Amino acid sequence: MRDFKAPLRDIEFALFEVFHFEEHYAQYCPSLDRDLTKALLDESARFSEDVLAPLSAVGDIEGCRLENGQVITPTGFKAAYQRYCDAGWPSLARSVEFGGQGLPQSLGLVVNELSATANYAWTMYPGLSQGAMHTIESHGSDEQKQTYLPALISGQWTGTMCLTEAHCGTDLGLLKTKATPLGDGRYSLSGTKIFISSGDHDLAENIVHIVLARLPDAPAGTKGLSLFIVPKFSIHADGSLGERNHVNCGSLEHKMGIHGNATCLLNFEGAIGTLLGEPHKGLNLMFTFMNLARLGAALQGLAHAELGFQKSLKYSQDRLQGRSLSGVKNPNGSADPIIVHPDVRRMLMTQKAMAEGMRMMAYYAAKRVDIAQLGQGENLCQSALDMLSVITPIAKGFMTELGFESANLALQCFGGHGYIKEWGVEQNLRDCRIASLYEGTTGVQALDLLGRKILLSNGKLLGKFAECIQQFCLDSTNPPELSPYIESLARLEKEWLVITANIGRRAQNNADEVGAASVDYLMYCGYIFMGYLWARAAKTASLKLAAGTHEPDFYNAKLTTARFYFERILPRTLSLAATINSGAENLMSLDADHFLF
375: number of Cβ within 10 Å = 18
Under DSSP, the state recorded for 74 is P
Annotated active-site residue 439? The verdict is yes
Half-sphere exposure of 88 (CA within 13 A, CB side): 11
> 300 with 435: CB under 8 angstroms?
yes
Cα 100 from chain centre: 23
Query: Which class for 592: exposed (0-12), middle (13-18), buried (19 or more C-beta within 10 A)?
Result: exposed
> 470 with 338: CB under 8 angstroms?
no
The distance in angstroms from the start CA to the end CA of the chain is 48
SS3 306: helix
Rounded Cα distance, 347 and 344, in Å: 5
Rounded Cα distance, 28 and 49, in Å: 30
Task: Return the closest-CA partner of residue 197 out of 289, 83, 91.
Answer: 289
Rounded Cα distance, 327 and 319, in Å: 18
Task: Return the closest-CA partner of residue 282 out of 134, 64, 135.
Answer: 135
Under DSSP, the state recorded for 593 is G
Under DSSP, the state recorded for 591 is -
Half-sphere exposure of 568 (CA within 13 A, CB side): 17
Rounded Cα distance, 579 and 97, in Å: 52
Rounded Cα distance, 552 and 182, in Å: 69
Per annotation, catalytic residue among 17, 137, 426, 439: 439
> 414 with 317: CB under 8 angstroms?
no
> 132 with 289: CB under 8 angstroms?
yes
Rounded Cα distance, 409 and 428, in Å: 11
What residues form DSSP beta bridges with 265? 251
Rounded Cα distance, 45 and 52, in Å: 10
> 107 with 32: CB under 8 angstroms?
yes
Q: What is the DSSP string of 237-275?
A: TTS-EEEEPSEEEEEE---SS-TTS-EEEEEEEEEEEEE
> 220 with 233: CB under 8 angstroms?
no
> 159 with 133: CB under 8 angstroms?
yes
Catalytic residues: 439
